[in-house]
Amino acid sequence: IEALKSKKDFIREMAVSILGDIGSSFDAREAIPHLITALGDSDEVICARAINALGKIGIKISSDSIAVKQIIQGLMEVLKNYKYTPNQKDRSSKILIEIGKPALPLLKEAFENEKDEEVKKVIREIIEKIQKAIKKNNETSKKNGKDGARLSEAETSTQSFTVADPLGFHIRPATALAKKAMEFNSLNFQAQNGMEVFANVKSVLQLITLGVHKGSQIKITVTGGTPEERERALSELGKI
């Protein structure tokens, strides 16, 4: 977070990107106000990366109403302010759509209060796309019913591992684990520590943020593929 205050562009660029990769960890939530400030950075690359970072965090923590509200308000400013480029506005719109239902109340309020007709048009389009996606998801859920729930459960395998490294889950084991997970292209991996912090096993940065020490347990959930593929993947990961 302190790196966001650096006078060197490349350091701020790196800090913004890392915070986006960290995603829904505590530090990333704490960084939201700083990332919103970075939206006004004179460096267009930093601004673009700040938009992406806020999007990654917002999508992952959509249940945190306070944090999501901050992110939505920041992205709304991008839509409303003419100093931002069309690409930046377009990316902000897509992120708001991806955040989905939690964004609706603020978007509707913004629509009612907005005076600029062009901005109102953009907000209306975002609202309509979110509502359309919600309706489609509801219809899909009703159609799949219990069969869909059983299928989803059948496509998931989970196993817990105890960290044996004296230094805990540092860069070396995290890199080895991510490298091994990436060998299974058709599978998705999620790691979870005892504090309900989640990480994509294919991301070294996210694994490090789990903060796991020697003797701690991490739970790895594998989705996709066949049961045999998932069990083989868990077995391979357990050897690292």
Catalytic residues: 170
Rg of the chain's alpha carbons, rounded to an integer? 20
Q: Quick one: 231 exposed, middle or buried, by C-beta within 10 A (0-12, 13-18, 19+)?
A: middle
Residues 53, 23 contacting (CB under 8 angstroms):
no
Distance CA 208, CA 18 (A): 12
Point out which residues pair with 190 in neighbouring strands.
Answer: 200, 221
| CA-angle at 38, arms to 18 and 50, nearest 5° | 45
Point out which residues pair with 157 in neighbouring strands.
Answer: 222
Distance CA 222, CA 158 (A): 6
Return the residue matching tokens 């069969």.
147
